[in-house]
């Protein structure tokens, strides 16, 4: 089966500073992969390369299909209503009905004519997901999409992403700082450190997962991140 994402020998430097130092990664269609790592280890840089936003690198980074990205900040255009934010650039005559369907999927059916500035953080992030989904991507790149949300909203977003993923089945690369989030959602969790993938964990637990079910793997992933749970406060 052809990979949805194929990365081989990827190197990226900003001036004298090497940020990605030989990344090899294959993601198969429909696979949900989480990428964990300390701040500044190169996660967003990797995502930007896959999104085609940065083309200055050595090695191979191929995404044969269509890609959508959702960032930590939803980046909605405040002067366009919600539905127009979603359908912008779609080049479909029925942009509004496509947007309405996506809004139903992200459980915001009544917000098509709202202005972005009137939305809560969680609602704005749902609109951002709807905008990504209407492009029917083969690969969905999520760059800490829940990082700015409170814990309860975050939980609701986890369920939503899992449902949307089950329905549409894009390959997903989810960048996160949150070990539990990674283990609750992903088929595979990668740990990036100093520009390399230093650990890989397959998560074979049935879905939907509960926090209690990921406890055992959490300890091992935290150890790969350099956190000793025995001594951590
Ligand atoms: N345009 C740029 N010019 C120079 N250095 C950059 C640029 N973009 C990123 N960097 C540097 O590359 C390193 C990796 O950045 P990146 O944003 O990929 O990290 P990250 O793992 O996503 O961090 P965080 O978890 O804090 O978002 C950082 O040291 C950052 O300062």
| CATH code: domain of residue 220 | 3.40.50.300
Residue 229 included in any domain:
no
Query: Per the domain annotation, does 54 fall within a domain?
Result: yes
Under the banding of pLDDT at 50, 70 and 90, the label for residue 211 is confident
Q: Which residue's alpha carbon is at the smallest distance from atom 31 of ligand 1?
A: 40
Ligand 1 centroid to Cα of residue 148, in Å, is 18
Burial of 7 (0-12, 13-18, 19+ CB in 10 A): buried
The answer to whether residue 233 is domain-embedded is no
**So what's the pLDDT on residue 215?**
86
The answer to whether residue 14 is domain-embedded is yes
Domain contains 24: yes
231 part of a folded domain: no
Q: Is the pLDDT of residue 15 over 80?
A: yes
pLDDT cut 90: percent of the chain above it = 68
230 part of a folded domain: no
Report the nearest-CA residue for atom 13 of ligand 1: 40
How far, in Å, is the centroid of ligand 1 from the Cα of 14? 9
Of the listed ranges 45-59, 116-130, 173-187, 211-225, the least confidently predicted one is 211-225
Output the 3-class SS for the chain: CCCCEEEEEEEEEECCEEEEEEEEEEECCCCEEEEEECCCCCHHHHHHHHCCCCCCCEEEEECCCCEEEECCCCCCCCCCCHHHHHHCCCCCCCHHHHHHHHHHHCCCCCCCCCCHHHCCHHHHHHHHHHHHHCCCCCEEEEECCCCCCCHHHHHHHHHHHHHHHHHHCCEEEEEECCHHHHHHHCCEEEEEECCEEEEEEECCCCCCCCHHHHHHHHHHHHHHCCCCCCCCC
Q: What is the pLDDT of residue 232?
A: 59
Q: Output the ligand 1 site: residues, CB below 6 A.
A: 14, 19, 37, 39-45
Measured in Å, residue 223 CA sits from the centre of ligand 1 at: 23
pLDDT value of position 148: 79
Q: Which domain holds residue 219?
A: 5-224
Q: What is the mean pLDDT of residues 6-31?
A: 96
pLDDT in tens, 32-89: 999 999 888 999 999 999 999 999 999 999 999 999 999 888 889 999 999 999 999 8
ipTM score for this prediction: 0.96
pLDDT tens, residue by residue, 94-146 = 889 999 999 999 999 999 999 999 999 889 999 999 999 898 899 999 999 88
Cα 52 to ligand 1 centroid, rounded to whole Å: 16
Residue 109 Cα to ligand 1 midpoint, Å, equals 37
List phi, psi (to 5°) of 125: -70, -30
Count of domains forming the chain:
1
Q: What residue's CA is closest to ligand 1, atom 7?
A: 14
Q: Indicate the pTM of the whole model.
A: 0.92
Is residue 210 a part of any domain in this protein? yes
Task: Identify the residue whose C-alpha is closest to ligand 1 atom 5.
Answer: 14
Rounded mean pLDDT, 149-175? 90
């Amino acid at each position: 089966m052809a990979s949805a994402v194929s990365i081989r020998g990827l190197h990226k430097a900003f001036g004298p500073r090497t940020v990605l130092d030989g990344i090899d990664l294959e993601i198969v269609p429909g696979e949900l992969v989480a990428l964990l790592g300390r701040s500044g280890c190169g996660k967003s840089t990797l995502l930007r390369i896959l999104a085609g936003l940065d083309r200055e690198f050595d090695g191979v980074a191929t995404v044969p299909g269509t890609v959508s990205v959702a960032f930590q900040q939803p980046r909605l255009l405040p002067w366009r209503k919600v539905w127009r934010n979603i359908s912008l650039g779609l080049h479909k005559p029925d942009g509004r009905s496509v947007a309405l369907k996506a809004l139903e999927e992200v459980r915001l059916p009544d917000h098509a004519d709202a202005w972005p500035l009137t939305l809560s953080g969680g609602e704005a992030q749902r609109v951002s997901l709807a905008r990504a989904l209407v492009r029917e991507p083969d690969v969905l790149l999520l760059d800490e999409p829940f990082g700015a949300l409170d814990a309860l909203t975050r939980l609701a977003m986890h369920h939503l992403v899992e449902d949307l993923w089950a329905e549409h089945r894009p390959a997903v690369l989810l960048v996160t700082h949150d070990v539990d989030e990674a283990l609750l959602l992903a088929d595979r969790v990668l740990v990036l450190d100093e520009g390399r993938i230093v650990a890989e964990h397959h998560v074979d637990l049935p879905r939907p997962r509960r926090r209690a079910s990921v406890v055992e793997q959490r300890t091992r992933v935290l150890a790969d991140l350099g956190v000793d749970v025995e001594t951590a406060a």
